[in-house]
Copies of this chain bind each other. A is one copy, B any other.
Amino acid sequence: MSPASSEFHVYDTTLRDGAQQEGLTLTVADKLAIARHLDDLGVGYIEGGWPGASPKDTEFFRLAQTELELRHATLAAFGSTRRVGKRAADDELVAALRDSMAPVVTLVAKSHALQVEKALRTTPEEGLAMLRDTVTHLREEGRRVFVDAEHFFDGYRYDPRYALEFVRVAAESGAEVVALCDTNGGLLPDELADTVAAVLEASSAKLGIHCHNDAGCAVANTLAAVAAGATHVQGTLNGYGERTGNADLVTIVANLELKKRMSLLEGTGLAEATRVAHAVSEITNIPPYARQPYVGSSAFTHKAGLHASAIKVDPDLYQHADPSLVGNDMRLLVSEMAGRASVELKGKELGYDLSGERMVVTRLTDRVKEMESRGYTFEAADASFELLLLEEVEGVRRSWFDIESWHVSVDSRSHEATVAEATVKVHAAGKRNVAIGEGNGPVNALDAGLRQALAAAYPVIETFELVDYKVRVVDVGNGTGTGALTRVLLTTANQSGEAWTTVGVGVNVIGASWEALVDGYSFGLLRAGVQPALLP
């Protein structure tokens, strides 16, 4: 009953349909980073965007050719069929798809007869011709072609004959997959499954499924389509997408792999799921949803009491799957945060074998828990975690410099540009260094000041560069508005392109930034093999 993994497509559209989510805006660098995470997860296809329609997406596909070395996934470019009355070969949007150099092109086209008339203002026949011509042209250009049948289910309800003809035309023109889209997300599994079965009976096309969660059934709808014979599933990380979002790809795959015993992902697969889901929410800066199935921080969390004792008897009583299979942990809410296992695993990931170090693991776990309860996060801030780990292993924190004080001020006068100036006083290599930093903002000025104050003792610091800076207000129940805690994630890179992320937390965005800056420089010096040059 389970198709071989090579025949079944796991197709991610986070970078295209997921990016339609309210509040979500991705830079080209964000997109490249997410694509790498998706490749780690082992999906088969990554839809990167719509080259030609968005300059950012055109740039993504251009950079992908040199900067994205995918081990498992194949890149797909999304776009529409040729315009009414044009030749596919002469259509500049079709040309942009071809020129993206993505091996797969996914064409969206309307399979709803009424909509072809209302929205495209053309005849149903021309709608089919647009589909046929564009698929044929791209096939001739050597591209694999998938087709997204927009509004398919509503279209099938309205005019099943036209909807089926659409699938036939797509397949006969050379489309490898026809993905049936529940575009407005309103279908329930029963009707959806009946329709997929009817289409499969009437055509020889390989069918895919693309669902939205407007009725709260995106995952179940996708599973129902697979049970009915679809062999290509589309979804997004964290269920990102317009309105209520797309089907959550990780939940779908976890259900199919763990409960239907299908083998779908390449490489490490599901064991990466929790890490990838959380890393991507750091990139999108959309807080992770604690109750998200499988990967949510609450997904395997139990409140003490009735369940806690039963769990000691048999963990499966209140947990439907082994959390380690998706890289998550069981948590008992006696304490706030995740356990020894993940701290140990994380250490291993960074190259520290802590398996024999019970005391170190205990101390480190306690500190992580305590800091997380104050708003810190180490999901993304590997470098801050490594400095903490090292401190617990060595019993003392490595320190390359000692801070006496810092001061920063920002000035704005009428309509002149705002200017910032910082004073930084540090002790390093036995000397007191005082430096002034200027910048267009306070963090910039502090960075310039700290860099200058340390450069004499550690010249390598001149090669470090701040490459990313994220701020989020975290609610740990202490206040509202600008009085709440602020968390800063700061990414620093060296000349060889290695990058590391540090974290700072405080009631003050500047104080939090300073903490992350200090960790960032310290870790850079550690990585560069520089010995602490503090005098005793």
Instruction: Report A's interface with B, CB cutoff 8 A.
Output: 20-23, 25, 27-30, 54, 115, 118-119, 151, 183-190, 213-217, 219-221, 223-224, 227, 239, 242-245, 248, 251-252, 254-255, 259-260, 285, 289-294, 296, 298-304, 307, 310, 313-314, 316-321, 333, 336-337, 377, 379-380, 403-414, 418, 420, 439-444, 447, 465-475, 480-484, 486, 491, 506-511, 513-514
Docked complex Cα distance between A469 and B471 (Å): 10
Given A242-B298, A410-B510, A466-B481, 12 more A-B residue pairs with CB atoms under 8 Å apart are A183-B317, A189-B224, A214-B294, A217-B219, A243-B319, A403-B412, A420-B510, A466-B482, A468-B480, A468-B481, A470-B473, A471-B473
Q: A22-B290, A244-B293, A469-B473 are in contact. Are A186 and B259 (CB under 8 A)?
A: yes
Query: Which of A184, A468, A481 gathers most chain B CB within 10 Å?
Result: A481
Docked complex Cα distance between A297 and B23 (Å): 12
**B482-A439 in contact (CB<8A):** yes
Residue of B whose beta carbon sits closest to that of A422: B410
**B510-A298 in contact (CB<8A):** no
Which B residues lie within 8 Å of A189 (CB)?
189, 220, 223-224
**B408-A409 in contact (CB<8A):** yes
**A471-B474 in contact (CB<8A):** no
Which B residues lie within 8 Å of A441 (CB)?
482-483, 486, 506-511
**B118-A314 in contact (CB<8A):** yes
Q: A214-B293, A243-B302, A255-B215 are in contact. Are A418 and B510 (CB under 8 A)?
A: yes
Which B residues lie within 8 Å of A310 (CB)?
119
Q: A223-B188, A420-B508 are in contact. Are A239 and B291 (CB under 8 A)?
A: yes
Contact for A379 among B23, B254, B508, CB less than 8 A:
B23
Docked complex Cα distance between A318 and B406 (Å): 54
Docked complex Cα distance between A187 and B255 (Å): 10
Q: A20-B303, A298-B22 are in contact. Are A481 and B506 (CB under 8 A)?
A: no
Contact for A405 among B291, B411, B440, CB less than 8 A:
B411
Cβ contacts A to B, 15 pairs, < 8 Å: A22-B333, A22-B380, A25-B377, A28-B475, A115-B314, A119-B317, A190-B223, A244-B298, A410-B511, A420-B510, A439-B483, A441-B482, A444-B508, A469-B482, A469-B486
Q: A214-B299, A244-B298 are in contact. Are A413 and B409 (CB under 8 A)?
A: no
**B418-A506 in contact (CB<8A):** yes
Q: A213-B291, A214-B293 are in contact. Are A483 and B440 (CB under 8 A)?
A: yes
Residue of B whose beta carbon sits closest to that of A470: B473
Which B residues lie within 8 Å of A224 (CB)?
189
Which B residues lie within 8 Å of A439 (CB)?
482-483
Q: A242-B307, A244-B292, A405-B413 are in contact. Are A440 and B507 (CB under 8 A)?
A: yes
Which B residues lie within 8 Å of A483 (CB)?
439-441, 444, 466
Docked complex Cα distance between A80 and B298 (Å): 26
Docked complex Cα distance between A217 and B511 (Å): 44
**A22-B442 in contact (CB<8A):** no
Query: Which of A25, A254, A336, A412 gathers most chain B CB within 10 Å?
Result: A412
Which B residues lie within 8 Å of A511 (CB)?
410, 412, 418, 441
**B243-A291 in contact (CB<8A):** yes
**B251-A190 in contact (CB<8A):** no
**Nearest CB on B from A333, distance (A):** 6
Residue of B whose beta carbon sits closest to that of A22: B298
Which B residues lie within 8 Å of A473 (CB)?
468-471
Docked complex Cα distance between A243 and B329 (Å): 12
Contact for A115 among B290, B317, B337, CB less than 8 A:
B317
**Nearest CB on B from A190, distance (A):** 6
Which B residues lie within 8 Å of A259 (CB)?
186, 188, 215
Docked complex Cα distance between A444 and B304 (Å): 35
**A291-B245 in contact (CB<8A):** yes
Residue of B whose beta carbon sits closest to that of A517: B482
Which B residues lie within 8 Å of A213 (CB)?
291, 293
Docked complex Cα distance between A337 and B17 (Å): 13
**Nearest CB on B from A14, distance (A):** 14
**A404-B414 in contact (CB<8A):** yes
**B508-A418 in contact (CB<8A):** yes
**B184-A301 in contact (CB<8A):** no
Which B residues lie within 8 Å of A251 (CB)?
215-216
